[in-house]
Amino acid sequence: MFKAGTVTLKDRFDQRGGQELAEALLAKLEGQPQACWLFCPPHYDLPSFLQGITDTLGTEQLIGCTTDGEVSSDGLSSHTAVLAGIVTDQIDFSFAWAMGLEHQAEQVGIQLAEALPPETQYIQLFSDGIKGNGCAILRGLMSVLGSHILISGGTAGDYGGFRRTWQFLGKRVLTDAAVAVGFAGNFAVGTGVRSGWSPIGVPKKVTRSAGHVLYELGGQPALEVYERFLGRHADRLPAVGVEYPLGLMGKLDNCPEDGYFLLRATMSVNRQDGSITFAGEIPEGAQVRLTCGDIASVLRAAEEAAGMALVGLEGRRPAMLFFYSCMARKIILGRRTREELQIVRDIIGPDIPTIGFYTYGEFCPLRPGGCSYLHNETVTVSVIGI
């Protein structure tokens, strides 16, 4: 038995609002959910909001984070709270949280993994989109659960403020944290990830970097190289760097898929040392190229991602759709952002319960059974099949 549903609430992020949201979900599900997802914008009263939700649902099996846009069965919404729940006897859910991402991201991943039961087949992960190293969290998780543990999810946003993001688990409103829900049982998961950006320009070698920070390209300060690329538009960094992310060329470790490249969006620049901070690790020695995309290619990517996820279901019936897409795509798509979700829902099934948000980063494997990576500027589609 599997039943899922989503509800949306606008503008009321207090305890009463939480109650209303929870009552709406209970009504839809006609039962207490085994697991809930909450995505909403940052708000000062989020703790009360969560209190209202969990008290009403009668369960603290709730996970979520703040966003840069919300997605539900009602479509794309902005500055809303979306709540989803699953009632099933086929899947066991387990929840975990850990803090201290900024300084010990990998350890956080390890703690999460150790808190989840070993029979966990699938994990959804939501981490602070501003602090911490998403790649490190994955390494921590995989070091305990194995390199082929299926992980999807996204990093929390704050609607472009880049000040603080929040992560939810039960009543807890956390920051500089990562929260995870583990799935175990009789189900299938199909995932798909695509960006729609294509490489342009000559490859450059990363001659100096450290984690997310890129210092030099081809022996020259990274900022200097970017300014050459961007010309008069360089003063719009880091924003323009989201439009033109850096693509890491070549085969990915443990991933046989040729031609795919991880994108890295600029987060900030340091004009003192000429470094640029990205929303993901930039390995030293990697070959990189500037990339660019357009509306058509971005939308095409959504179509491809949905198709990949469907293939991954291996014939099982889609029961729930999780949609995590990068906020950079909203900048490209503009008014046509809704079309991205529509394309995906049309492929997966327009009536399939849908939940998700626009992220600062995405977690997803490149292929079924492959490693999960931290992506930028991608649309990720995760579908539960029963």
Map tokens 């059974």 to a residue: 369
Quote the CA–CA distance of 20 and 34 in Å, as a whole number: 19
Residue choice 24, 115, 184, 230 for contact with other proteins (CB under 8 A) = 230
Cβ closer to other proteins: 200 or 210?
Answer: 200
Quote the CA–CA distance of 114 and 130 in Å, as a whole number: 24
Cβ closer to other proteins: 163 or 335?
Answer: 335
Q: Binding to other proteins (CB under 8 A): which residues in 318-337?
A: 334-335
Shortest spacing between CB 265 and other proteins, in angstroms: 15
Q: Binding to other proteins (CB under 8 A): which residues in 152-211?
A: 200-202
Cβ closer to other proteins: 293 or 368?
Answer: 293
Burial grade of 258 (CB within 10 A; 0-12, 13-18, 19 or more): exposed
- 235 touches other proteins (CB under 8 A): no
Quote the CA–CA distance of 74 and 281 in Å, as a whole number: 35
# residues contacting other proteins (CB under 8 A):
16
Shortest spacing between CB 78 and other proteins, in angstroms: 16
Q: Binding to other proteins (CB under 8 A): which residues in 277-306?
A: 290, 292
Amino acid at 45: D
Q: Please report the beta strands in 128-197, taking only residues with DSSP state E, as ranges in sequence order.
A: 150-155, 167-169, 172-174, 177-185, 188-194
Shortest spacing between CB 247 and other proteins, in angstroms: 13
Asked if 176 contacts 102 with a C-beta cutoff of 8 angstroms, the reply is: yes
Shortest spacing between CB 136 and other proteins, in angstroms: 32
Site string for other proteins, 109-128 (x = CB under 8 A): --------------------
Instruction: Work out the angle between the directed axes of helices 15-29 and 46-57 (0-180°, nearest 10).
Output: 30
Secondary structure (3-state) at 229: helix
Residue choice 24, 184, 240, 352 for contact with other proteins (CB under 8 A) = 240
Shortest spacing between CB 228 and other proteins, in angstroms: 6
Bridging pattern class, strands 287-292 and 198-210: antiparallel
Task: Note the residues at the interface with other proteins (CB under 8 A).
Answer: 200-202, 228-233, 240, 243-244, 290, 292, 334-335
